[in-house]
Structure 1
Amino acid sequence: MKLDVLVFAAHPDDAELNIGGTICALIKQNLKVGVIDLTKGEMGTRGTVETRKKEAHNASVALGLHYRKNLDLGDSKLDNTRANQLKIITEVRNSQPDVCITGAPHDRHPDHGKATQLVLDSLFYSGLQKIDSGGQQPWRPEHILHYMQDRPFEPDFVFDISETWEQKKKSLLAFETQFNVSEAGEEPETYISTPSYFKQLESRARYFGHLAGFEFGEPLKYHNGPAPLSSFDEF
């Protein structure tokens, strides 16, 4: 399936957590958007592979995604190997996205930075003619963006998610074992499971929205150097 935008995430829920509002807004603009989860999140403290698979499906419905796939590259084992690169290259060449969005190069969770470097290398190699992925044509996205995760950075853009903030929240709440858990039950409480973490998410979205003149915003960094500009119409 040809996609306009392809989002990469280290774990199920990373896309919803960090770029979910933007995804919803792009889909409302009639763009085709897909998500590639690199792992099943099997090393997470809460939930199981089976519950997180079901949660990811429900979150995909909430977002309105056109495509989602889990590459199962191994949670906490995200090695930058040719085998793993080829799995990503196959997805990129199959969907031919104009824009790819991936995580920040450096973050609190080691998997996030490792996932981003793996994706960046794969996107470059995807454009090389002599790298074979089963007869597919080479493809490299025109633009690459990074979404903010736990560690803040100075953004190049802030995407307006004022109209999709509630939809983003709905997609996050689909991960019932991970977010806004009022009673821990038999599973340990985690950094992201408490209701107070949801308040932090809202505060960040309001802060970056305020910087750009929106109610809610999601920060993005442009990977390919200075952002191209040929007309002030884009302002």
Structure 2
Amino acid sequence: MEQKPMNILCVAAHPDDVEILCAGTLARYSQAGHTVTIAVFTSGNMGDAQIPPAELAFIREKETREAAAILGAKLIWAGIDDEHVFPNQEQRRIMIDILREADPDVIFTHSPNDYHPDHRYVGQLVFDSYFQKGLPHIPNQQRPACRFGQAQVYYMDNLGGIGFLPTEYVDITAVFEIKMQMLACHRSQVVAMQELANTDLLGMVEVQARFRGLGAGCRYAEGFTRLDAYQRGLTHRILP
């Protein structure tokens, strides 16, 4: 049976997280005719030792919009200060509005055991906001409630794959160059990762995709774990 068009949402903490962990899968959804929304929760404004935060936020948003345009994806830019994500009431309201705007059938976000607190708390905010997105009387929201029905949540891989055991894979071999083109848009991130962390970002992503491909039986793959919880279960596969 042919799959109906779906709304696909990836909620990530920082500019470039989407490209590192999920862009190949989003590219496959986009090519299949589904609507893709990328939500970046922080501005990445603390991620450089030299560039002032306000200037860096502007740079990071511009780079993220360039990357999203490659997919034709909609971008939601929340603009929270980098390194300042917390699972509090104010930020939950922001996350509820993000989920309402995207009205997702599928949500990708960070794993609970990720290495970075911003990542972990974004994932928690997605979990905590899941039901509120469809409840019309939540106070102080900017957007009306969306569908209350099921939206399947998938947790993305951890950087380096550390402590993460995928339960489902997506073969991204045919769209791997798109993933890398999107990542290359994040020029300030590539430079900062090299200078601050002595990390070749493009090389790291290629190695991890190849490693996940070994587990998936293909050249390049992205790995995920499905969140199995009440009203979020499926009897069929919806990953591409």
Deviations along 1:184-203, one digit per CA (max 9) or x if unpaired, are 8xx97022x643x4223212
Q: Tell me the distance in 2 between the aligned counterparts of 1:216 and 1:188.
A: 24
Q: Tell me the distance in 2 between the aligned counterparts of 1:188 and 1:149.
A: 19
Q: Report SS of the residue matched to 2:223.
A: strand
Q: Check 1:90–1:167 CA distance in 2 against 1; reply closer, same or farther (3 A cut).
A: same
Q: Tell me the distance in 2 between the aligned counterparts of 1:230 and 1:135.
A: 31
Q: CA deviation at 1:3?
A: 6.1
Deviations along 1:140-196, one digit per CA (max 9) or x if unpaired, are 4420001112234111101110011001000011011112x4xx8xx97022x643x
Q: CA deviation at 1:227?
A: 5.8
- In the alignment, structure 1 residue 200 sits paired with structure 2 residue 211: no
Q: Tell me the distance in 2 between the aligned counterparts of 1:57 and 1:208.
A: 27
Equivalent residue number for residue 102 of structure 1: 109
- In the alignment, structure 1 residue 160 sits paired with structure 2 residue 171: yes
Q: Tell me the distance in 2 between the aligned counterparts of 1:129 and 1:78.
A: 25
Match of 2:70 among 62, 66, 70: 62
Q: Check 1:205–1:134 CA distance in 2 against 1; reply closer, same or farther (3 A cut).
A: closer
Structure-1-length-normalised TM-score: 0.85
Equivalent residue number for residue 79 of structure 1: 86
Q: Tell me the distance in 1 between the aligned counterparts of 2:236 and 2:172.
A: 25
> 1:149 is aligned with what amino acid?
N
Q: What runs of 5+ residues in structure 2 fail to find an aligned partner?
A: none
- In the alignment, structure 1 residue 143 sits paired with structure 2 residue 152: yes
Contact 1:6 1:36 in 2 (8 A): yes
The structure where helix makes up a greater share of residues is 2
Q: Tell me the distance in 1 between the aligned counterparts of 2:143 and 2:28.
A: 34
Q: Check 1:215–1:227 CA distance in 2 against 1; reply closer, same or farther (3 A cut).
A: farther
Q: CA deviation at 1:91?
A: 2.4
Q: Alignment length, in residue pairs?
A: 223
Q: Tell me the distance in 2 between the aligned counterparts of 1:87 and 1:22.
A: 25
Equivalent residue number for residue 226 of structure 2: 222
Q: What runs of 5+ residues in structure 1 fail to find an aligned partner?
A: none
Q: Check 1:88–1:177 CA distance in 2 against 1; reply closer, same or farther (3 A cut).
A: same
Q: Tell me the distance in 1 between the aligned counterparts of 2:72 and 2:214.
A: 27
Q: Tell me the distance in 2 between the aligned counterparts of 1:20 and 1:70.
A: 17
Q: Tell me the distance in 2 between the aligned counterparts of 1:206 and 1:42.
A: 30
Q: Report SS of the residue matched to 2:189.
A: coil
Q: Report SS of the residue matched to 1:228.
A: coil
Equivalent residue number for residue 43 of structure 1: 46
Q: Tell me the distance in 2 between the aligned counterparts of 1:136 and 1:202.
A: 40
Q: Tell me the distance in 2 between the aligned counterparts of 1:50 and 1:36.
A: 16
Q: Check 1:165–1:54 CA distance in 2 against 1; reply closer, same or farther (3 A cut).
A: same
- In the alignment, structure 1 residue 114 sits paired with structure 2 residue 121: yes
Greater shift, 53-62 or 82-91, is seen at 82-91
Q: Tell me the distance in 2 between the aligned counterparts of 1:19 and 1:146.
A: 10
Structure-2-length-normalised TM-score: 0.83
Q: Check 1:69–1:228 CA distance in 2 against 1; reply closer, same or farther (3 A cut).
A: closer
Percentage identity across paired residues of the two chains: 28
Match of 2:19 among 16, 23, 26: 16
Q: Check 1:199–1:230 CA distance in 2 against 1; reply closer, same or farther (3 A cut).
A: closer
Contact 1:126 1:138 in 2 (8 A): yes
